Amino acid sequence: MKYYVAFSIALITFALYIPALQNDFVDNWDDNVYVIDNAHIRSLDFALLRFSFFGFLHGNWHPLTVISHATDYAVWGLNPLGHHLTNNILHAANTFLVVLLVIKLLSALKQATIKKSSRLWTFATERAVLITAGTTGLLFGLHPVHVESVAWIAERKDLLCALFFLLSIIAYANYVLELNDKTVQKKALPFILNKRYLLTILFFILALLSKPMAVTLPIVLLILDWYPFNRIQSGKTFQVVLIEKIPLIALSFISSILAVLAQEAVGALMPFETVPLSTRILVGTKALIMYLWNMAWPMNLIPLYSYNPKRVSFGSLEYSSAVVLVAVFSVASMIFVKKQRLWPAIWGYYVVTLLPVLGIVQVGGQLMADRYTYLPSLGPFLIMGLFTAWITEEAKTGKWVRPIVVACGTVAFIILFLL
């Protein structure tokens, strides 16, 4: 059943983006650099591999993305239809994985020994799990904030990175579930030899080779160890799971250095003399709130959210209110932590996955970009999935509530589809 639901939602997602197949290249904004004028992708040979792994393209080091564009060029040449088709397929595949991942995490949660923090899951029937995963997947596949990542050929790196990021988490979830299986615990190999753990590392490497934004995965896995896997119960258990992450942390460190070197090579890094740290923090805080607003009210989305650093001030209502809201969300998460770990886990995931693009290390002059929410949006979308499942399965309401929820949800997804 879960594969049927995941495949159906992936198919709907692919259908949504069929009009993008008629689009051309954006030949004056990155598509020219990555595809149209990129002589390095003209042939699949050793020269391509050498440039991909030992060269920087447009201030980025993402070998797998370059090879992906070269593969498309080998098949389609400069026919944009084929390049868009690959993006569409990748986005549909990512949507498929999102549904399966949510189901996997909820299954892990049901197996874990959670005490007070398990209250939310008293309603977790199989149907509730499918409703949660299906709603999350539909939002991920259809939401307008993801159009930039899918319909812009140059953002292939977002899609590839997310594909392997999700596969890495799924492999890690399988690794944890295997550890919890008492029938295999006695025969368990050291974690470094476990094939599911090795798959986690392999997929993580492929994600980093697609886009360095994947560097946050080790912290994401630690959050999942805390909840829903419930592997962190004390300082000693934290030390155990942290040791597991050392190879991934090392890979993140290497990828971060390469990313900085690539940006420095084209002079894209803003010096602190130009944009002070205080300004960067205020801008990043505002972006955290604006991303949530765009997910809740996806209107007037634009390709470039520019700003003037000289006008950034805590005395400005738009920045001070953002700081207050982020503080409120953070404090509320800490208050709820004893009763329900879900909220701080999701808030932590959202903030952590956005950290590389919040402007603390400022690249370019943009305030934010819709494409940056491709993976971080999973947190807010999961909350909507959980709420939908709760209101239809657990809330003590009349029989008329479920049809109303279905009707409202249908209207909402039609609106998202049209937007």
pLDDT of res. 122: 56
How much is the pLDDT for 28? Answer: 86
pLDDT tens digit sequence for 288-347: 999 999 999 999 999 989 888 878 999 899 999 999 999 999 999 999 887 888 999 999
> How would residue 84 be classed by pLDDT, with cut points 50, 70 and 90?
very high
Using pLDDT thresholds of 50, 70 and 90, give the confidence band for residue 115.
Answer: very low
Residue 291 near residue 373 (C-beta atoms within 8 A): yes
Coil vs helix vs strand at 188: coil
164 within a domain of the structure (yes/no): no
Domain contains 325: yes
Q: Is there a contact between 13 and 91 (Cβ–Cβ < 8 Å)? A: yes
In the chain the first and final C-alpha atoms are separated, in Å, by 30
| Separation of alpha carbons 174 and 354, rounded Å | 25
96: tokens are 């498929």
Q: Would residue 273 count as lying in a domain?
A: yes
pTM above 0.75, yes or no: yes
* Average pLDDT of every residue of the chain: 91
CA–CA dist 145, 298 (Å, integer): 7
Q: What is the pLDDT of residue 272?
A: 72
Residue 187 has pLDDT above 60, yes or no: no
Q: Which pLDDT belongs to residue 108? A: 83
- Which residue did the predictor score with more confidence, 50 or 364? 50
Residue 63: cis peptide before it, omega within 30 degrees of 0: no
Q: What is the pLDDT of residue 340?
A: 83
At residue 180, does pLDDT exceed 90?
no
> Looking at the predicted structure, is the pLDDT value of residue 192 above 90?
no
Which residues have CB under 8 Å from 82's CB, separation 6+? 72, 75, 76
Asked whether residue 59 carries a pLDDT value surpassing 80, the answer given is: yes
Residue with more model confidence, 273 or 201: 201
For the chain, what's the residue count? Answer: 419
Confidence class for position 193, pLDDT limits 50, 70, 90: confident
| 179 or 120: which leads in pLDDT | 179
* Total count of domains within the chain: 1
Domain membership flag for residue 190: no
What pLDDT is stored for residue 116 in this prediction? 44
Assigned token pair, 279: 């300004």
Torsion of CA 235, 237, 243, 249, to 10 degrees: -70
Nearest to 98 by CA among 290, 374, 289: 374
| Residue 359 counted as domain residue | yes
Q: Which of 258, 260, 276 lies closest to 268, judged by CA?
A: 260
Q: How confident is the model at residue 178 (pLDDT cuts 50, 70, 90)?
A: confident
Judge whether residue 364 has pLDDT over 90. no
Does 155 reside within a domain? no
Domain residue limits at 283 = 268-376
* Region of poorest pLDDT, from 228-242, 329-343, 392-406: 392-406
The answer to whether residue 306 is domain-embedded is: yes
Contact (Cβ atoms closer than 8 angstroms) between residue 393 and residue 123: yes
Structure tokens at 87: 């993006």
Whether pLDDT at 49 is above 60: yes
Contact 205, 223 (CB under 8 A): no
Residue 124 lies inside a defined structural domain of this protein: no
Going by C-alpha positions, the residue among 133, 134, 19 that lies closest to residue 84 is 19
Residue 162, pLDDT > 90, answer: yes
Distance CA 178, CA 155 (A): 35
